[in-house]
A = this chain, B = another copy of it.
Amino acid sequence: MLPLQIHLTLPPWIGDAVDADRRYAGDEERVGLAIALSRHNLEHAGGGPFGAALFDANSGRLIAVGVNRVIPLSCSVAHAEIMAMMIAQQRLGRYRLNEDGRHYVLATSSQPCCQCYGATVWAGIDELLIGARTDDVQELTKFDEGPLPADWIGELERRRIAVRRDILRDQARTVLAAYGASGAVY
C-alpha cells in the first residue's frame, strides 16, 4: 500500500507564544514576531532556529505562523516559511494569497534557503521581510542555505515581490549564535 497523505503540525506552544489578535504594524514588529518564534523553537529544542509569520499588509492582521519542523516531522520541506505559507493558504482557501487583491507580507527570521526562496515565487505574497542574512546563518550555524539565482532579489522584484532585509538583523543573529553555541545538530 502506498501512503497517500501527510499531516504537518506546528508545536502546541505556539498558542501561548503568539498573540493572534494583535495587529502587527511595520516591518520591525513583523520580523520581530518571526525572530521571537525562532527563539522559542530553539528553547523548546523543536528544530532549526527559524521562524516566519504571514500578515495582511494593510491591517497588520496575522494570518499564519511557522517554525522549522524538519526533525520532529521527518520532513525536509517543513521549513518555517513553508509552514507559514501552506497554513495561510489553507486558512484563506486559495493557493495564491493575493488573488483577492489585498497585499500579503511574509516575515522571516533569516533569509530563505533555496527551497523557500522558490516557494515564495508561487505563494501570492507581495513583500518579503528578512532578519538575518544567509551569510549570518552560514557564519553562526552549520546550515548550508543552498544555491540561489545570482540576482535573487531582482528575480523576486520582477515578479512584484518587494524584498527588505537587515530588519532587526542583530536580534536575529543573537538567536542564530545561541543555536551555534548550543552544539545542537537539529
- Which A residues contact B (CB, under 8 angstroms)? 1-10, 12, 14-15, 18, 20, 62, 64-65, 70-71, 73-78, 82-83, 85-87, 89-96, 113-119, 121-124, 146-150, 152, 155
Contact = CB atoms under 8 A, between A and B. Distances in A.
9 contacts: A4-B12, A4-B14, A4-B15, A7-B7, A70-B95, A71-B95, A76-B85, A76-B119, A118-B119
A3 B90 contact: yes
Contacts of A94: 74
User: A interface, by DSSP: helix, strand, loop or mixed?
Assistant: mixed
A85 B123 CA distance: 19
Contact of A8 (B8, B10, B95): B8
B70 A77 contact: no
Those 9 A-B pairs whose CB atoms lie nearest each other, nearest first: A115-B118, A114-B118, A147-B155, A76-B122, A4-B10, A147-B149, A5-B9, A76-B95, A115-B119
